[in-house]
Amino acid sequence: MKIVVAGADGLLGHEVVRVCAGYGDEVIETDVAKDFRCLDITDMDATLAFLEAEKPHWLVNCAAYTDVDGCEDREDLAYELNAKGPGYLAQACSKSGTMLLHISSDYVFDGEKPEPYTEEDPTNPLSVYGKSKLAGEEAIRQCIKDFIIVRPQWLFGPNGKNFVSTVLGIARERASINVVNDQRGSPTYSKDLARAIRALIEQDARGIFHVCNRGSASWYDLAKKALELAELETRVVPVSTSEFVRPAVRPKNSILSTKRFTETTQKLMPLWQISLQLYIKEYLFEYRKSGQA
Ligand SMILES: NC(=O)c1ccc[n+]([C@@H]2O[C@H](COP(=O)([O-])OP(=O)(O)OC[C@H]3O[C@@H](n4cnc5c(N)ncnc54)[C@H](OP(=O)(O)O)[C@@H]3O)[C@@H](O)[C@H]2O)c1
């Protein structure tokens, strides 16, 4: 299979490239970052020319503006990358006969549902980021019928800024850290998500899929487990969202149901605690190798 990955220099993009290459796919890594073949998702003409020249089977879009708080100040950029960009990709895919797999977000929900969200649940994003990601989904749906949209959440993994690596970095410098304990989600390893994405491609699936690791946690639970696995003794202090005000409002409970994913692929997502253990081992290996320990 020939697969173009947009945003290949990001947290998820790196893993999608690695997993697909492991399947023997011909993978073309693209990004706006230097050292990558340039595919700017906001340039429709260039994207169409690229796809017509390369004739891939699939375009996997991992590119986005992912700074949730930054989106509140830079609404234009958020909509350009997260809404218009996916719409341009859908048009380019439609014209070139390429299948599109796009990554959206759990932040399309308001977090008021006590149970895990299914793909059929009504959306109601609270932040500019969430609204721009939902607009991206709508731009795709208006343009093409055949697509895969994956909504993941709470990503951690190598090759990119994420909550777990940030907490481990801060914990080395402080005796205690405050972490929000009243927002819940399912922490998700970028490598597990990349395997799930490849499984959906394998199945030639269509539509929206929620994909996250199994089990749920608060940010506090996740920080505590990460520090325990990294054997750091920094105290984690649980605080409420109201004590930790951020520019963007986050959903209280954005746990996603992966039932549809499992029924489609016959695959069960791993438990987040097991995947976190694997990531922390990898993180510590890289940390020690860099001579910082
Ligand atoms: N991280 C999470 O916790 C999380 C949770 C839910 C959903 N998601 C979604 O998952 C996807 C992947 O997230 P991620 O954390 O891997 O993101 P990321 O690390 O921020 O990677 C995004 C990549 O896209 C690139 N990019 C920016 N503008 C571009 C453009 N115009 N054309 C092509 N590439 C461009 C970025 O380059 P620069 O760095 O140079 O800008 C970066 O390499 C996104 O759709 C995100 O919304 C993420």
CA 234 – CA 221 distance, rounded (Å):
14
Return the ligand 1 atom nearest residue 160 CA.
19
Q: 53 is written with which tokens?
A: 């020249």
Does a structural domain hold residue 172?
no
**CA contacts within 13 A on the Cβ side of 206:** 5
User: Does 251 map to a domain?
Assistant: no
pLDDT tens column, 233-278: 999 999 999 998 999 999 999 999 999 999 999 999 999 999 999 9
Q: Once rounded to an integer, what is the mean pLDDT over residues 33-53?
A: 94
pLDDT at 291 over 80: no
Radius of gyration of the CA atoms of the chain, in A: 19
Please tell me the distance from the alpha carbon of residue 157 to that of residue 164, in angstroms, as a whole number.
8
Secondary structure of residue 271 in the 3-state scheme: strand
Q: Is the pLDDT of residue 13 over 70?
A: yes
pLDDT for position 288: 87
Candidate from 64-68, 176-180, 199-203, 282-286 with smallest mean pLDDT: 282-286
Give the tens place of pLDDT for each residue, 131-163.
Answer: 999 999 999 999 999 999 999 999 999 998 899
Q: Domain span at residue 156?
A: 2-162+188-215+256-270
Q: Strand locations in 62-129, DSSP E? A: 99-103
Domain assignment of residue 154, yes or no: yes
- Is 178 inside any structural domain? no
Is position 94 within any domain?
A: yes
**Does residue 285 fall inside a structural domain?**
no
Distance 110 CA to ligand 1 centre (A): 21
CATH number of residue 152's parent domain: 3.40.50.720
Domain assignment present for residue 247? The answer is: no
Pocket test for ligand 1, best of 36, 43, 59, 62 (most atoms within 8 A of CB): 62
Stretch 120-133: mean pLDDT: 98
CA 47 from chain centre, in angstroms, equals: 22
- Please give the pLDDT value at position 34: 84
Distance (angstroms) between ligand 1 centre and the Cα of 8 equals 9
Domain count, the chain: 1
Of residues 65, 79, 88, 129, which has the active-site annotation? 129
Q: Is residue 226 part of a domain?
A: no
Predicted confidence (pLDDT) at residue 30 exceeds the cutoff of 80: yes
Phi, psi of 180, rounded to the nearest 5 degrees: -65, 135
Q: Is 129 a catalytic residue?
A: yes
| Cα–Cα distance measured from residue 203 to residue 275, given in angstroms and rounded to the nearest whole number | 24
Residue 23: phi and psi, rounded to 5, are -80, -5
